[in-house]
Amino acid sequence: MKFTQPTAELFIPDGMPADQALARTTHLAVGAHQDDLEFMALHGILECYQKPDLWFTGVTVTDGRGSSRIHEYAGYTDDQMQAARKHEQRKAAFVGEYAAMAQLDFPSAGVKTAGFRPVVEDLRRILESMRPKVIYTHNLADKHDTHIGVVVALIEALRELPPGRHPEKLYGCEVWRNLDWMVDEEKVLLDASPRENLSAALMGIFDSQISGGKRYDLATIGRKRANATYLASHHSDNARMLEYAMDLTPLIRDPKSDPVALVERHLQRFAKDVTERIRRRL
């Protein structure tokens, strides 16, 4: 498979031929940065781990060159940071036993540009090589512009496929904004409780970010535990760690549907829930 960027790569942890590795994919996650997949789509990784009939494939869109860096990584050049982050993502794919791991190596500036076709085209090539049942990506209320660029490009790529090639579900997951604000009946609940040791190992692999000044591992585990505990006030917890997701499937079922309108409906229902809860007690 040829990608737009000459430095892009497709890594197959178990050495299977690329076409076979991609074709076996049942769960796909598309994220902006190295580590996004492990922080937002643990549910998919755990669903597939050591299952002969379920396989997780990851796609990271950007090159990692603009990452923050202090302490042990303070002296790293952009090229060194890029190499370190790509190496960490390969290690995560090996530990998590992914079917395949694609790193597309686009600069963030391009991904954030409206109408940037190369990302759409690379994602379409990947999607045409597989038939995943579930796809995880960033949610449309995320506050990171690069994340929004990725989810918009993914939706566009999916819309360019024949309807028979669409996944059963497209989920927008939590990274740079959680989804606790969504009304409960509209949250997609993804149980990330199994194999906490594996989850911790996958998150901890990204040393260039963690030792470089951001404890994403602790923050992400804390968020998932809080999701599970604060979901329901009058019931015991049914999970130890929960990922919340926004159901983006309607945006590919109806190619004319507006992503902005979908998010606005969620915000309006949240505002209504808050104001009515207050008014009932006045």
Measured distance CA(227)–CA(247) in Å, rounded: 17
Residue 120 pLDDT level (bands cut at 50, 70, 90)? very high
- pLDDT tens string 19-47: 999 999 999 999 999 999 999 999 999 99
- pLDDT tens string 125-157: 999 999 999 999 999 999 999 999 999 999 999
Among 13, 39, 8, which Cα is nearest to 205's? Answer: 39
Among 252, 59, 229, which Cα is nearest to 169's? Answer: 252
Q: Where do runs of H (alpha helix) occur along the chain?
A: 18-23, 36-40, 42-48, 78-95, 108-111, 117-128, 145-159, 196-204, 207-210, 216-230, 250-253, 259-279
Among 83, 102, 82, which Cα is nearest to 37's? Answer: 102
pLDDT at 115 over 90: no
Q: For position 140, what pLDDT does the model report?
A: 98
> What would the two tokens of residue 121 be?
């085209």
How many CB atoms are located within 10 Å of the residue 90 CB? 18
The dihedral sign for the CA sequence 130, 97, 216, 213: negative
Contact 172, 246 (CB under 8 A): yes
Q: What is the pTM of this model?
A: 0.95
pLDDT at 66 over 80: no
Amino acid in the structure at residue 124: R
Q: For position 211, what pLDDT does the model report?
A: 82
Q: For position 232, what pLDDT does the model report?
A: 83
Measured distance CA(180)–CA(84) in Å, rounded: 33
Domains and CATH numbers, the chain: 9-276 (3.40.50.10320)
| Average pLDDT score over residue span 231-247 | 88
- pLDDT tens string 174-217: 999 999 999 999 999 999 999 999 999 999 999 988 886 789 99
